[in-house]
């Protein structure tokens, strides 16, 4: 797949066709239509890696019901909800951008990319019920979450998510929270549509089956990017003033090749994943929600299981997981078992060893998860859906998250399980490492990159105005109490444009 034109010596080269490159390219082209951009993707099709619909859970992460974002009680004895507020604030920028994309013909069929699916938290046992009650008390005080409902009533839970109670011990204390305007997002479709839109603009090109193999700073201060046309077996060099390494699991090796000093010390820790899925109509029709529970034992936050309605290619299914798995590959489609060993350098080996030694329960958990039987996997699903039957469910691969490992506070080896944008001091190259909370906050990540690396554009009144009409809160804090009405208005406009709520 490729656009009509290939852009030689563009202003910007984007590496990878996932949601991050797609968003950066589309936003940049909107704020400066004169910008020349070329994108390269190694796989055969666009957005087949982590952003692909089946490779992630498609949660529009707004901090609504994922309990892993609010794990702790504060000194006041109430659950602390600051992280959920922060994520919701960032997700609002994504909603605004996607809504703008629909209104301006960049996304023609929003339902292909985003669908309304309520988000629920479900807990059982008195200790968890007390936790959820406190979480709801704190969350519902904030204008982002004022619509959040809480119940311990089994009849209400049955109406919200009947499968959850099917076959459950009637004496067990249970509780649920519900946010009606949650979303299921097909980030792969979203990325592909944005890139296709870009390809129709003057001065933008994209090409799949093109692997970026090297990056070298050139004499004019930009980058020479070595690219291999995988089909033709030929390599060539293209140069750009700015390079975005949005290669997902492939970002770390490219960042290391760039040789920028800011990349020193970074390592990657891949976590594979699998889902159970069912398309059985009787089950799919009974469940319309994304249901989050509490973390089982040593599970890393990104592997806390949930039972999700998915809408992919217009078809509904139920997905449960992820089950984490040990892997040494950085990419699912085009990765190699040598990715992890090949990423070891003198400057990160200390961190990697420390991470291995300091996270033995996590490593043990990953190995145990990867080798468990179907029966054990079903056991985990049955904690959510007690009446689940093995014959209705199939195991499929999820994407791979390469967690960024970096030195923090000078202490090598502290795992930083977040998203990390690494930018050189000249602001000519940015690379995205890490995976959480991921695609949902892609717009916020890209806004920060633009503020840092394209600050000159935002000083231009016209560009700034275009940015403001695309992502109105890019320079505002909607979480502030004084912004409650502004948030309500922007949120409504975006959700209406995306057909998540009725006009």
Ligand X SMILES: Cc1cc2nc3c(=O)[nH]c(=O)nc-3n(C[C@H](O)[C@H](O)[C@H](O)COP(=O)(O)OP(=O)(O)OC[C@H]3O[C@@H](n4cnc5c(N)ncnc54)[C@H](O)[C@@H]3O)c2cc1C
Choice between 61 and 143, CB closer to ligand X: 61
Question: Token pair of 229, please?
Answer: 């046309």
Choice between 161 and 174, CB closer to ligand X: 161
- State the nearest-atom distance from the C-beta of 276 to ligand X, in Å: 13
CA–CA separation, 94 and 440 (whole Å): 7
Please answer whether residues 206 and 199 qualify as being in contact, where contact means their C-beta atoms are separated by less than 8 angstroms. yes
**What DSSP assignment string belongs to 409-462?**
TTBTT-B--S-EEEE-TTSSEEEEE--SSGGGGHHHHHHHHHHHH-HHHHHSHH
Our finding on whether 58 is near ligand X (CB under 6 A) is: yes
Stretch of 218-226, 331-339, 449-457, 471-479 contacting ligand X, by CB under 6 A:
331-339
Our finding on whether 15 is near ligand X (CB under 6 A) is: yes
Our finding on whether 48 is near ligand X (CB under 6 A) is: yes
- State the nearest-atom distance from the C-beta of 383 to ligand X, in Å: 19
Choice between 20 and 85, CB closer to ligand X: 20
Q: Is-cis flag, bond preceding 322, omega within 30?
A: yes
Our finding on whether 212 is near ligand X (CB under 6 A) is: yes
Choice between 463 and 494, CB closer to ligand X: 494
Stretch of 5-13, 39-47, 142-150, 172-180 contacting ligand X, by CB under 6 A:
39-47
| 174-179 vs 37-40, strand pairing mode | unpaired
Our finding on whether 250 is near ligand X (CB under 6 A) is: yes
Question: Token pair of 442, please?
Answer: 């892609």
Footprint (CB under 6 A) of ligand X, residues 216-245? none
For helices 82-103 and 442-453, give the axis angle rounded to 10 degrees.
80
For ligand X, the binding residue among 401, 407, 457, 487 (CB under 6 A) is 401
CA 411 to chain centre: 27
Choice between 101 and 174, CB closer to ligand X: 101
Stretch of 129-137, 172-180, 435-443, 451-459 contacting ligand X, by CB under 6 A:
435-443
Our finding on whether 211 is near ligand X (CB under 6 A) is: yes
Stretch of 13-21, 309-317, 364-372, 489-497 contacting ligand X, by CB under 6 A:
13-21
CA–CA separation, 51 and 296 (whole Å): 26
- State the nearest-atom distance from the C-beta of 368 to ligand X, in Å: 17
Phi, psi values for residue 451, rounded to 5°: -60, -35
Our finding on whether 94 is near ligand X (CB under 6 A) is: no
CA 262 to chain centre: 24
For ligand X, the binding residue among 64, 107, 161, 439 (CB under 6 A) is 439
- State the nearest-atom distance from the C-beta of 53 to ligand X, in Å: 10
CA 333 to chain centre: 18
Our finding on whether 329 is near ligand X (CB under 6 A) is: no
Our finding on whether 41 is near ligand X (CB under 6 A) is: yes
Please classify residue 458 by burial: count the beta carbons closer than 10 Å to its beta carbon, then call 0-12 exposed, 13-18 middle and 19+ buried.
Answer: middle
CA–CA separation, 230 and 246 (whole Å): 19
* Residue 231 exposure: Cα atoms within 13 Å on the Cβ side: 10
From residue 17 to residue 36, the character string flagging contacts with ligand X as x (rule: CB under 6 A) and all else as - is: xxxxx---------------
- State the nearest-atom distance from the C-beta of 105 to ligand X, in Å: 23
- State the nearest-atom distance from the C-beta of 253 to ligand X, in Å: 7
For ligand X, the binding residue among 30, 440, 473, 479 (CB under 6 A) is 440
Residue 294: count other Cβ atoms within 10 Å of its Cβ. Answer: 20
Residue 105: count other Cβ atoms within 10 Å of its Cβ. Answer: 8
Choice between 42 and 163, CB closer to ligand X: 42
Question: Token pair of 342, please?
Answer: 């090949």
Residues in CB range of 384: below 8 A, 6 or more apart? 122, 163, 164, 291, 293, 305, 306, 307, 320
Choice between 150 and 384, CB closer to ligand X: 384
Stretch of 45-53, 172-180, 277-285, 371-379 contacting ligand X, by CB under 6 A:
45-53
Please answer whether residues 414 and 420 qualify as being in contact, where contact means their C-beta atoms are separated by less than 8 angstroms. no
For ligand X, the binding residue among 163, 435, 449, 495 (CB under 6 A) is 435
CA–CA separation, 418 and 301 (whole Å): 11
- State the nearest-atom distance from the C-beta of 289 to ligand X, in Å: 14
Binding site for ligand X (CB under 6 A): 15-21, 40-43, 47-51, 55-59, 61, 187, 211-212, 246-248, 250, 254, 273, 322, 331, 333-334, 398-401, 432, 435, 437-440
């Amino acid at each position: 797949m490729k656009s009509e034109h290939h852009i030689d010596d563009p202003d910007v080269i984007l590496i990878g066709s996932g949601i991050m490159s797609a968003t950066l390219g589309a936003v940049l082209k909107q704020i400066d239509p004169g910008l020349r951009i070329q994108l390269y993707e190694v796989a055969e099709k666009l957005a087949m890696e982590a952003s692909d619909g089946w490779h992630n859970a498609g949660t529009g992460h707004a901090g609504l019901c994922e309990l892993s974002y609010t794990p702790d009680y504060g000194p006041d004895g109430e659950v602390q909800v600051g992280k959920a507020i922060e994520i919701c604030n960032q997700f609002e920028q994504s909603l605004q951008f996607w809504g703008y994309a629909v209104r301006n013909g960049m996304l023609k069929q929003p339902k292909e990319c985003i669908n309304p699916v309520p988000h629920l938290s479900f807990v059982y046992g008195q200790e968890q019920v007390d936790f959820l009650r406190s979480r709801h008390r704190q969350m519902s005080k904030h204008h982002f979450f004022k619509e959040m409902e809480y119940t311990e009533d089994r009849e209400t839970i049955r109406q919200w998510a009947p499968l959850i109670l099917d076959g459950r011990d009637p004496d067990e204390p249970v509780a649920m929270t519900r946010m009606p305007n949650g979303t299921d997002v097909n980030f792969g479709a979203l990325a592909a549509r944005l890139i296709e839109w870009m390809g129709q603009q003057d001065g933008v090109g994209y090409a799949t089956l093109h692997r970026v193999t090297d990056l070298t700073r050139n004499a004019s201060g930009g980058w020479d990017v070595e690219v291999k046309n995988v089909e033709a077996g030929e390599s060539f060099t293209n140069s750009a003033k700015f390079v975005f390494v949005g290669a997902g699991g492939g970002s770390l090796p490219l960042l290391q090749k760039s040789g920028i000093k800011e990349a020193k010390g970074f390592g990657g820790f891949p976590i594979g994943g699998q889902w159970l899925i069912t398309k059985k109509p009787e089950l799919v029709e009974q469940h319309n929600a994304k249901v989050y529970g509490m973390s089982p034992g040593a599970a890393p936050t990104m592997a806390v299981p949930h039972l999700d309605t998915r809408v992919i290619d217009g078809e509904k299914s139920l997905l449960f997981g992820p089950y984490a798995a040990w892997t040494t590959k950085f990419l699912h489609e085009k990765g190699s078992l040598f990715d992890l060993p090949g990423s070891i350098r003198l400057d990160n080996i200390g961190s990697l060893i420390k991470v291995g030694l300091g996270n033995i329960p996590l490593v043990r958990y990953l190995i145990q998860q990867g080798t468990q039987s179907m029966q054990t996997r079903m056991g985990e699903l049955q904690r959510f859906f007690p009446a689940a039957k093995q014959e209705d469910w199939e195991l499929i691969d999820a994407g791979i998250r390469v967690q960024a490992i970096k030195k923090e506070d000078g202490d090598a080896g502290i795992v930083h399980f977040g998203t990390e944008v690494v930018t050189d001091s000249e602001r000519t190259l940015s690379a995205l490492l890490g995976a959480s909370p991921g695609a949902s906050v892609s717009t916020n990540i890209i806004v920060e990159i633009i503020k840092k690396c394209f600050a000159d554009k935002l000083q231009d009144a016209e560009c700034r105005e275009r940015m403001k009409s695309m992502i109105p809160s890019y320079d505002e804090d909607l979480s502030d109490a004084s912004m409650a009405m502004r948030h309500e208005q922007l949120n409504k406009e975006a959700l209406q444009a995306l057909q998540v709520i009725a006009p």
